[in-house]
Chains A and B, each alone.
Chain A
Amino acid sequence: MDYTILIGGAAGQGIDTAVGLLERMIKRHGYYVFTYKNYMSRVRGGHNFMQIRFSDMPVTSYSKELDMIYAFNEESVQFHEDRLKKDGVVIVDNNIAESNLNYTHLPLVETAKNLGNDKVSSSVGLGAIINYFGILLDTGIKVIKEELAPKISEVNKQALEKGYELLERKYNMKKREDSHILIDGNQALALGAIAAGCKYYCGYPMTPSSSVMTYIAKHANEMGIVVDQIEDEVGALNMALGASYAGVRAMTGSSGGGFALMVEALSLAGIIETPIVVFNAQRTGPATGFATRTEQADLRFMIHAGHGEFLRMVIALRSPEDAFYQTVRAFNLADKYQIPVLLMTEEYLTNYNMTHEPFDFSKITIERHIASGSDIPDERYKRYKFTENGISPRLIPGQVKGQVVLVDSHEHNEYGNIDEDAENRVKMVDKRAIKIEELKEEIQEPWFIGSNNPENLIVCWGATYGAVKETVDRLNEKDVSIGALIYGDIWPFPTNKINELGKSAKRIIDIEHNSTAQLESLINEFTDIKCTDRILKYDGRALSGDEIIERLCL
């Protein structure tokens, strides 16, 4: 089984709440859920829609075909009814498109009014929907009681019960055991940061990055985390670097435009060798682009951002689960190598909701790599002491009596003092650069999925993972020899797997949410492997498994 419900309407009509309740009811009934959210950048009006796809098998992408449209206005049906399956159903209130007999009209508003609160009409609709699919009423009521404020939960419960009577049951989805979590990419990233011991998050609101800050803020007092809204992104990264210098784990993040403002300070992080984690929730560019739509056009930007040459690591996040674990890893690597670690997510991943196995907190370790007084043999501490691997023992100011810690944005000597000596300059550049040798040992090769030594090899990175996974799974079922490499660690660029699989593949298909095939350009730069095909999408909408399969023409 594999069903999709689309809920659509104008901004401000309460779609978000309705979808949040419905996806949870389905998950609690024991099913895998994937919720794709499509917003316009406005507070009222426009057309927003969300699609909840659910199945008894894991789902990692949204689907093109719809089993149900629940529309809050007529426009929402018109936009999407061409995608409705033959046996699909359109649910609308009695007052919407009354003359259209193809729609299933239900007395949603009327029922709500009879309950004394016409705002609960969407809960009437939810009641009808869950009965249609065979979800237990008790499950629905439980979710409403948990998710809604006590003041309004009772009337919504009644609305759900009334709605449950309005539509005949079509499917009998059996109740299954539910052990999963339902989480989006930004929540997972934020939770990862909290688990990693991040004590300082500062940033400037920018869609689609802001919900990370909001999530951390929610738990900030309990966890003892400073969450600070700064005057601008320039200040944010400089401030986070100050906090990191003082010894706490610090993070900032934004979308492309805000990250652009951080670039000066990113270079600072490079020369002062102060650990920092920064994420870029990419949206459609250049400049303002589309605020609420997706793109992967900042890959080259993230790799090269900053004046001068300095080491950084770039990790692309592939799913909410990956966002959680990689965020923790980013903090550990930043501390170990005293470098900026940049996380790349994108609008699509920031807010699609997906079921995962609960994250395993016992697998997480916090590795600070901070030196103590006994590690410092020198009479006067050298913050930038030359070492074989380029990593200097890092002291925290105020922690070791008699020693001061000096970091400097100028080229400096081992003590951190300005030094224009030519020989020292070369040694310092080399010291910072040599750290890549140990870092390379920790770089993870891209995930590989699909047939052994596939004839058709997809290469992609970050959030296209879900759609590519569905593509590979479905084509493997049809005995197509296809596999995929999905890059997470992307800088320094790992080359082993692509060299191994690229040589035997007949077709190599590069799949990205951008117009210039930036991953492919990295493959060209670092290997002799040549991609044969490209599937590039840059209309601001995410690829689905359906679309990739269609465009692959296999």
Chain B
Amino acid sequence: MTCEYKLYDTSWCPGCGNFMIRDALKQALEELGIAPYDSVLVTGIGQAAKMPHHIGINGFNGLHGRALPPGIGIKLANKDLTVIVESGDGDTYGEGGNHFLHTIRRNVNIAHFVHDNQIYGLTKGQGSPTTLKGQKTTLQFDGVKLEPVKPLALSLTMGAGFVARGFSGDKPHLVELMKEAITYNGYAHLDIFQPCVVWNKVNTFKWYKDHTYYLPDDYDYTNYEAAYKKALEWDNGIPLGVLYKVQKDTYDDSFEFIKNGVSLVNAKLNPMDAKKYLKEFY
């Protein structure tokens, strides 16, 4: 079948949450019937960011912290592509923090999957923006002294229309979240808990199991205030699922020529089209 996503050898540690996230990604895209050549995976740097090397898909593996900007550029240049940006917590909320804030404001139709293991893996165990305060690491010997970023509260504050959290330990649930994020028309923020089996001895598979719960079926994901409260929940259980989902005007559609025309990449180019502007200079 044309929608089959091939898998390749990885450089991940055995037991890494990335495997389940990759399997979920493959299943989500295949179930949605999106062919590998019609979808693009844009990543930064880190273990999560190696994803396009481990699954057969169009890929832009760029710079640390810089996965979102090329993702936006790709989507606006070719609206026919399904664009997924995937990277880690350090990449997204640390190095790429400014791009994260402004991508939410821009509301381009892309899905953003953040592998959140609350630690730096590739650089060997330093604290990340989501590492809990007080946690000892390979660098923060006295424990992390900074408050952790609250990613979902942050994206809600910035006006994101789709905010969700998944867990690599529950693949069927994650697949559904991914499918919902990919088909959402606008910027979809999906933070995915995953254990780092080597560097994070606090937030283990068991820790996530013990500390998370599923939003009930009757949860109203269109209620902004309720979503914000959910996004702040931590000590007494962390909610999994779609916290907030409403339809908003997208940036893509604000360009009349994108909304109603062909993809920019298919536009016919002719220098003579610009000649008319010379008259301004006579």
Chain A residues packing against B (C-beta within 8 Å): 178, 180-183, 187, 191, 194-197, 199-200, 202, 219, 221, 223-224, 226, 228, 230-232, 234-236, 238-250, 264-265, 268, 272, 328, 358-359, 361-362, 364-366, 368, 396-410, 416-418
Chain A to chain B: the 4 pairs with minimum beta-carbon distance, closest first = A242-B73, A242-B70, A197-B269, A243-B73
Q: Are B36 and A407 in contact (CB under 8 A)?
A: no
CB distance from B276 to the nearest CB of A (A): 9
Q: Are A191 and B102 in contact (CB under 8 A)?
A: no
A187 to B272, CA, bound (A): 17
User: Which of B261, B272, B275, B282 has most A Cβ within 10 Å?
Assistant: B282
CB distance from B179 to the nearest CB of A (A): 20
The listed residue (B37, B101, B275) touching A400 by CB distance below 8 A is B37
B253-281 interface bits toward A, Cβ cutoff 8 Å, 1 = contact, 0 = none: 00111100100110101111111011001
Q: Are A409 and B62 in contact (CB under 8 A)?
A: yes
The listed residue (A200, A230, A245, A416) touching B264 by CB distance below 8 A is A200
A272 to B73, CA, bound (A): 16
A397 to B37, CA, bound (A): 6
B77 within 8 A of A: yes
Task: Give every chain A residue within 8 A of B8 (Cβ-Cβ).
Answer: 417
Query: 4 extra interchain contacts, Cβ-Cβ under 8 A, other than A231-B99, A406-B52, A407-B61?
Result: A219-B274, A247-B78, A272-B62, A401-B37
Q: Are B53 and A408 in contact (CB under 8 A)?
A: yes
Task: Give every chain A residue within 8 A of B271 (Cβ-Cβ).
Answer: 195-197, 328, 361, 364-366
A400 to B264, CA, bound (A): 17
A403 to B59, CA, bound (A): 12
A473 to B72, CA, bound (A): 51
A165 to B254, CA, bound (A): 52
With contacts A248-B264, A361-B274, A397-B78 taken as known, whether A235 is within 8 angstroms of B99 at the C-beta atoms is yes
Q: Are A235 and B63 in contact (CB under 8 A)?
A: no
B249 within 8 A of A: no
Q: Are B278 and A358 in contact (CB under 8 A)?
A: yes
B66 within 8 A of A: yes
Task: Give every chain A residue within 8 A of B227 (Cβ-Cβ).
Answer: none
A235 to B271, CA, bound (A): 29
Q: Are B63 and A221 in contact (CB under 8 A)?
A: no
Q: Are A246 and B78 in contact (CB under 8 A)?
A: yes
Instruction: Find the B residue at minimum CB distance from A402.
Output: B37
B58-70 interface bits toward A, Cβ cutoff 8 Å, 1 = contact, 0 = none: 1111110010111
B74 within 8 A of A: yes
A148 to B232, CA, bound (A): 56
Q: Are B53 and A235 in contact (CB under 8 A)?
A: no
Q: Are A246 and B72 in contact (CB under 8 A)?
A: no
Instruction: Find the B residue at minimum CB distance from A191.
Output: B277
Chain B residues 190 to 213 lying within 8 A of chain A, measured CB to CB, are: none
Instruction: Find the A residue at minimum CB distance from B8.
Output: A417
CB distance from B60 to the nearest CB of A (A): 6
Task: Give every chain B residue within 8 A of A396 (Cβ-Cβ).
Answer: 265
Q: Are B61 and A404 in contact (CB under 8 A)?
A: no
Q: Are A265 and B99 in contact (CB under 8 A)?
A: no
CB distance from B128 to the nearest CB of A (A): 20
Task: Give every chain B residue within 8 A of A230 (Cβ-Cβ).
Answer: 69, 102
Task: Give every chain A residue within 8 A of B38 (Cβ-Cβ).
Answer: 398
Task: Give every chain B residue within 8 A of A359 (Cβ-Cβ).
Answer: 278
A523 to B73, CA, bound (A): 39
Q: Are A404 and B36 in contact (CB under 8 A)?
A: yes
Task: Give every chain A residue within 8 A of B71 (Cβ-Cβ).
Answer: 242
Task: Give every chain B residue within 8 A of A187 (Cβ-Cβ).
Answer: 281
A328 to B270, CA, bound (A): 12
CB distance from B26 to the nearest CB of A (A): 14
The listed residue (B74, B261, B274) touching A243 by CB distance below 8 A is B74
Give the interface SS of chain A, mostly helix, strand, loop or mixed. mixed
The listed residue (A195, A361, A402, A404) touching B59 by CB distance below 8 A is A404
Q: Are A226 and B59 in contact (CB under 8 A)?
A: no
Q: List 19 A-B contacts (CB under 8 A).
A: A191-B277, A194-B277, A195-B275, A199-B264, A235-B68, A235-B102, A242-B72, A242-B74, A243-B77, A243-B264, A247-B265, A397-B81, A398-B37, A398-B265, A400-B37, A405-B59, A408-B53, A416-B59, A417-B53
With contacts A231-B99, A397-B40 taken as known, whether A409 is within 8 angstroms of B73 at the C-beta atoms is no
B56 within 8 A of A: yes
Q: Are A238 and B77 in contact (CB under 8 A)?
A: no
User: Which of B35, B45, B261, B277 has most A Cβ within 10 Å?
Assistant: B277
Task: Give every chain A residue within 8 A of B63 (Cβ-Cβ).
Answer: 238, 264-265, 268, 409
CB distance from A151 to the nearest CB of B (A): 20
Q: Are B61 and A406 in contact (CB under 8 A)?
A: yes
The listed residue (B60, B80, B99, B278) touching A398 by CB distance below 8 A is B80
The listed residue (A242, A362, A410, A418) touching B60 by CB distance below 8 A is A242
With contacts A199-B264, A202-B73, A239-B69 taken as known, whether A408 is within 8 angstroms of B78 at the C-beta atoms is no
A188 to B116, CA, bound (A): 47
A364 to B53, CA, bound (A): 40
With contacts A231-B102, A416-B59 taken as known, whether A246 is within 8 angstroms of B74 at the C-beta atoms is yes
Q: Are A241 and B257 in contact (CB under 8 A)?
A: no
A397 to B60, CA, bound (A): 10
Q: Are A181 and B272 in contact (CB under 8 A)?
A: no
Instruction: Find the A residue at minimum CB distance from B269.
Output: A197
A400 to B58, CA, bound (A): 11
CB distance from B270 to the nearest CB of A (A): 8
Task: Give every chain A residue within 8 A of B275 (Cβ-Cβ).
Answer: 195, 361
User: Which of B70, B255, B264 has most A Cβ within 10 Å?
Assistant: B70
Task: Give every chain A residue within 8 A of B269 (Cβ-Cβ).
Answer: 197, 249, 366, 368
Q: Are B37 and A194 in contact (CB under 8 A)?
A: no
Q: Are B66 and A238 in contact (CB under 8 A)?
A: yes
With contacts A401-B2, A406-B61, A418-B50 taken as known, whether A362 is within 8 angstroms of B278 at the C-beta atoms is no
Q: Are B99 and A248 in contact (CB under 8 A)?
A: no
Instruction: Find the B residue at minimum CB distance from A268.
Output: B63
Task: Give every chain B residue within 8 A of A231 (Cβ-Cβ).
Answer: 98-99, 101-102
Task: Give every chain B residue within 8 A of A178 (Cβ-Cβ).
Answer: 282
With contacts A195-B274, A247-B78, A398-B38 taken as known, whether A181 is within 8 angstroms of B73 at the C-beta atoms is no
CB distance from A36 to the nearest CB of B (A): 18
Q: Are B78 and A242 in contact (CB under 8 A)?
A: no
Task: Give every chain A residue within 8 A of B281 (Cβ-Cβ).
Answer: 181-183, 187
B19-43 interface bits toward A, Cβ cutoff 8 Å, 1 = contact, 0 = none: 0000000000000000111101010
Task: Give every chain B residue within 8 A of A361 (Cβ-Cβ).
Answer: 271-272, 274-275, 278
Q: Are B73 and A240 in contact (CB under 8 A)?
A: yes
Task: Give every chain A residue within 8 A of B175 (Cβ-Cβ).
Answer: none
With contacts A194-B274, A246-B265, A404-B58 taken as known, whether A232 is within 8 angstroms of B77 at the C-beta atoms is no
With contacts A245-B60, A404-B57 taken as known, whether A181 is within 8 angstroms of B282 at the C-beta atoms is yes
The listed residue (A182, A200, A364, A408) touching B73 by CB distance below 8 A is A200
A236 to B81, CA, bound (A): 21
Task: Give every chain A residue within 8 A of B265 (Cβ-Cβ).
Answer: 199, 246-248, 396, 398-399
CB distance from A27 to the nearest CB of B (A): 8
B144 within 8 A of A: no
B76 within 8 A of A: yes
Q: Are A199 and B62 in contact (CB under 8 A)?
A: no
Instruction: Find the A residue at minimum CB distance from B35.
Output: A401
